[in-house]
Structure 1
Amino acid sequence: MEAFADYLAGIDNVEYRSRMEEIFNWVADKYPNLVPKFAWKQPMFTDHGTFIIGFSASKQHMAVAPEEAGILRFAKEITQAGYDSTKGLIRIPWSSPVDFTLLEKIIEFNIADKAECTNFWRK
């Protein structure tokens, strides 16, 4: 994934880098209409110029940022998956499996919910 090559190269832990690359490739394969973009120091995917989902790596977890609306909509499923969240992100511990079904629901919610959105972020 060329758009995220520099970001991935900056992740020292090989396992974390591999997991992030797996997620990026999964999103790109599953949603070829989404545009990979690196902005605000974060790898993200956009649709018609609007933010859909972003990711970042930290020492303890991978952060998934679907905007607050996505977190609120799937709060129960996020908790059931064993993840915690804040207003702006979901934390997936490196030791936990990635719930791809949940990611799919979040991405599809954002694509549908922002279909008519003309701004990058929700207002």
Structure 2
Amino acid sequence: MQLPDDYHLEFSGDPRQPKDSNYDDLYYLCDFSGCYVASYNTKLVLLNNAEHGALDTCRNSTRYTDRIDQKQLSQGSQICIRTAAGHIALLTYKGASADAGPSRYVTFDAKVWRNAVDST
């Protein structure tokens, strides 16, 4: 999936269809500070290299943040996402657009487990 700058994903619906309406479960933004993925009410965890991205790993990881800078990501980096609706997603970073390209975006593989934890 490609997530363009200033677009958002909602894991309750079809995460392969980025939206430009509001800040859903995850958004990608490039501004004066750089590019990053973030969320207002979703819990993000950047897994370290020793961790294996799986449902149990994402359920048990609690190093929550609301922002991960793109410069922290390398090909294969994995991000666990826990939504307020109780869904868990695992994103695997594949890369980003060239700085000089006509648009900015990041590319992820995504796996979503719906209703994997209690909603908050």
Larger RCO: Structure 1 or Structure 2 (Cα < 8 Å, ≥ 6 residues apart)?
Answer: 2
TM-score range normalised by the length of the shorter chain: 0.3 to 0.5
Instruction: Give the TM-score normalised by structure 1.
Output: 0.36
Instruction: Give the TM-score normalised by structure 2.
Output: 0.37
Which structure: greater helix fraction? 1
Which structure: greater strand fraction? 2
